[in-house]
């Protein structure tokens, strides 16, 4: 069976769907791996490294996709790439189906069996396949590094002969994978860290990393299926906003990470709150791709509003292209490995498996994911 690794063509996408390490392991599974020339250039993976790992280098997408049974990408394929895929091919990538439903129909029309890696169920045996976790972990780290680079003061306390520099105060909003890594990174840099989340269960995680937990007292649970947060009642949001508004005035750096699957990002930091922040403060909005947690955030831009620098970088994990690619490539390797029959070396998919039903968008010319079919929520 042939597996194709394509070069990413989306502007700013520096990641690649395979590393030389995973190419070796994919080849060991019995797959004939073909990598499009230059696919790993932005991640410092030269074509020669892929060749040495056992891959064939293709001069272009058409050559790479010709007769490919499996296609790995980072982002959704273009219309041209879909047209080059053979009927019945398996596609695995971050497909963003909520915002790209028209492309979903194109996969179905082309007979492509498309799998959205970001839909991976949050279950124990799928942890090693969870692309949201692997990429969010890096994004949380990089958010703090970017904030520290833009901040015009030092992060840790410094005691010098000329005087003492107070440590920066960092407030993390949303304690998922990205938030936890942001807390840990800010602590390592010597900041005083606090965090908030609607899920009371995250309090212990925040405190275990040395942070202070900020949350209103409530019997209302913010826990949703799969470890995600759910949208809270209007009363809860009003009281939480009042608490945050008071807390945010004293912060130097605010990092927002809150997302609700399939819905616009919730507003956590209003313009009024930004106005109360100290001049020179930094706000990093990691939810900007879904509309942002602050209405002043601008996707793909760094702007100054009311004296506060607001960082709305897109695709933050891709700023760490080597590690982001290596982790994503392992997610794909771990996803495909149990689907390859050890004897025949052919695809052997159990279509009833929870991992498959959770990630499969289209199959045999039909949109099959329950949340994306006509009438699905």
Active site residues: 122, 127, 130, 133, 228
293-301: long-range contacts, CB 8 A cutoff, minimum separation 24: 293/173, 293/174, 293/256, 293/257, 293/258, 293/265, 293/266, 293/267, 293/268, 293/269, 294/256, 294/267, 294/268, 294/269, 294/270, 295/267, 295/270, 295/271, 296/271
Contact predicate 39/16, CB 8 Å: yes
Contact predicate 104/367, CB 8 Å: yes
Of the candidates 308, 309, 317, 310, the one whose C-alpha atom is nearest the C-alpha of residue 293 is 310
Of the candidates 71, 81, 89, the one whose C-alpha atom is nearest the C-alpha of residue 34 is 71
Here the tokens at position 196 are 């908030």
CA distance 168 to 262: 34
Q: How far, in whole angstroms, is CA 75 from its chain's centroid?
A: 12
Q: How far, in whole angstroms, is CA 240 from its chain's centroid?
A: 26
CA distance 61 to 5: 9
CA distance 167 to 106: 53
DSSP E strands in the chain: the ranges are 2-5, 32-36, 56-58, 70-75, 90-94, 113-116, 158-160, 163-165, 169-173, 192-196, 212-213, 253-256, 282-285, 302-305, 308-311, 362-363, 366-367
Is beta strand 169-173 parallel, antiparallel or unpaired with respect to 163-165?
Answer: unpaired
Q: What are the two backbone dihedrals, phi and then psi, of residue 303, each rounded to the nearest 5 degrees?
A: -125, 160
Helix, strand or coil, per DSSP, at residue 89: coil
């Amino acid at each position: 069976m042939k597996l194709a690794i394509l070069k990413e063509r989306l502007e700013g996408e520096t990641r690649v769907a395979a590393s030389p390490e995973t190419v070796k392991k994919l080849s060991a599974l019995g797959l004939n791996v073909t990598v499009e020339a230059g696919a790993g250039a932005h991640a410092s993976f030269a074509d020669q490294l892929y060749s040495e790992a056992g891959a064939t280098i293709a001069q272009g997408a058409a050559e790479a996709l010709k007769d490919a049974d499996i296609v790995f990408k980072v982002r959704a394929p273009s219309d041209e790439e879909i047209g080059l895929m053979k009927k019945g091919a398996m596609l695995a990538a971050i497909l963003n189906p909520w915002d790209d439903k028209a492309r979903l129909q194109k996969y179905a029309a082309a007979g492509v069996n498309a799998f959205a890696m970001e839909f991976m169920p949050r279950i124990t045996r799928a942890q090693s396949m969870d692309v949201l976790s692997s990429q969010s972990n890096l994004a949380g780290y990089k958010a703090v590094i970017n904030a520290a680079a833009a901040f015009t003061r030092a992060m840790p306390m410094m005691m010098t002969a000329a005087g003492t520099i107070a440590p920066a105060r960092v407030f993390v909003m949303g304690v998922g994978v990205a938030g936890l890594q942001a807390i840990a990174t800010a602590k390592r840099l010597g900041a005083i860290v606090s965090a908030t989340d609607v899920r009371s269960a995250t309090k212990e995680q925040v405190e275990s990393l040395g942070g202070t937990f900020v949350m209103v007292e409530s019997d209302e649970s913010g826990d949703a299926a799969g470890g995600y947060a759910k949208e809270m009642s209007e009363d809860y949001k009003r009281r939480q906003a009042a608490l945050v508004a008071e807390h945010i005035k004293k912060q130097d750096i605010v990092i927002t990470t809150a997302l609700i699957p399939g819905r616009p990002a919730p507003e956590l930091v209003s313009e009024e709150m930004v106005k109360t922040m100290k001049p020179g403060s930094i706000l990093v909005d990691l939810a900007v791709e879904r509309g942002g947690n602050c209405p002043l955030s601008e996707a793909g831009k760094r702007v100054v509003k009311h004296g506060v620098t607001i960082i709305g970088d897109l695709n933050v994990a891709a700023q760490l292209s080597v590690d982001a690619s290596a982790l994503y490539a392992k997610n794909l390797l771990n996803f495909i490995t149990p689907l390859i029959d050890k004897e025949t070396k052919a695809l052997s998919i159990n279509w009833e498996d929870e991992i498959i039903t959770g990630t499969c968008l289209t199959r045999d010319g039909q949109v099959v994911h329950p949340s994306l079919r006509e009438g699905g929520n």
